[in-house]
Amino acid sequence: MGTLNSARIGVVTFPGTLDDRDAARAIRLAGGEPVALWHADADLRDVEAVVLPGGFSYGDYLRAGAISRFAPAMSSVIDAARGGMPVLGICNGFQVLTEAHLLPGSMIKNDHLHFVCREQTLVVANANTAWTNEFATGQRITIPLKNQDGQYVADEATLDRLEGEGRVAFRYDGWNPNGSRRDIAGITNERGNVVGLMPHPEHAVEPGFGPAGADGPRAGTDGLPFFRSVLASLVGA
């Protein structure tokens, strides 16, 4: 069983992944031990949680995340997630989770067709997941957002079910940057162990290198509680 200082958290690198190093650094800054996982290797190396980082795996060919979903590492991640292992998908990682059917819905091109890169404010809509328990429901956080295919879509019945079951984890606040249905920025599975979101918590974990925060420009560290949350949930498990 993990402790705050020893929990091993895997970060999967696919061909075209960009943010694996930042995710590993975020895990370390939160107090965990990052473990590099390779897409072609089904061995999860005894990790207790997994982060699927952002990027453009396989160049977004076919559909964003569609080819990565069939990687050997993903077969293991899918089995582990169904068994309750915490899994966080960030941006391209979120797209991989929807393609793997671990989360419902899908992402299509932003409604305005442009790549968007900005400091995005979100409202935490569910603070009871493995990755959000260090937040309070209704809390506003600011983390970077950068994507081309970020428009979250699902049919009305699925959206109603997500809302009814409290499975919307994050909503865009102020401005919806990509046309996502019902301002959805991130969702969780029923059990609360799998979370996916388009914005990037791993880029807001260290003063001086994040978005604007209460203490000034680049001071924001609103991404850190994501990684502290999973460490707390592992200790409590």
Partner 1 sequence: MGRVVVEVMPKPEILDPQGKAVVGALPRLGFTQFTGVRQGKRFELEVDGEVTPEILEQARKAAEEVLSNPIIEDIVAVTDASADAGTAPVAQRAGLA
| Least Å from the CB of residue 167 to partner 1 | 16
| Residue 5: C-alpha distances to residues 2, 27, 48, 130 (Å) | 8, 11, 13, 17
Decide: is 179 part of the binding site for partner 1 (CB under 8 A). yes
> Which lies closer to partner 1 via its Cβ, residue 70 or residue 235?
70
Among 1, 113, 136, 214, binds partner 1 (CB under 8 A): 113
Decide: is 82 part of the binding site for partner 1 (CB under 8 A). no
Q: For residues 78 and 50, give the distance between their C-alpha atoms in angstroms, rounded to a whole number.
A: 11
* Per-residue exposure over 164-180, b if at least 16 CB sit within 10 Å of its own CB, e if not: eeebbbbbbbeebbbeb
| Least Å from the CB of residue 25 to partner 1 | 32
Among 54, 105, 211, 225, binds partner 1 (CB under 8 A): 105
Helix locations, 13-91, DSSP H: 20-30, 72-82
Decide: is 154 part of the binding site for partner 1 (CB under 8 A). yes
Examine the residue annotation and report whether 91 is marked as an active-site residue of this protein. Answer: yes
Torsion of Cα atoms, 145 then 214 then 123 then 7, to 10°: 80
Examine the residue annotation and report whether 200 is marked as an active-site residue of this protein. Answer: yes
Q: For residues 41 and 62, give the distance between their C-alpha atoms in angstroms, rounded to a whole number.
A: 22
| Least Å from the CB of residue 92 to partner 1 | 15
Decide: is 43 part of the binding site for partner 1 (CB under 8 A). no
Decide: is 163 part of the binding site for partner 1 (CB under 8 A). no
The count of residues in the chain is 237
Q: What is the DSSP letter of 70?
A: G
Q: Which of 48, 99, 134, 202 is catalytic?
A: 202
Question: Which listed range, 12-20, 35-43, 99-107, 210-218, lies at the site for partner 1 (CB under 8 A)?
Answer: 99-107
User: Is the CB of residue 143 less than 8 Å from the CB of residue 132?
Assistant: no
Decide: is 142 part of the binding site for partner 1 (CB under 8 A). no
- Residues whose CB is less than 8 angstroms from the CB of residue 157 and which lie 6 or more positions away in sequence, other chains included: none
Examine the residue annotation and report whether 112 is marked as an active-site residue of this protein. Answer: no
Active site residues: 91, 200, 202
Residues that bind partner 1 (CB under 8 A): 62-63, 66, 70, 98-99, 104-106, 108-113, 151, 153-155, 179
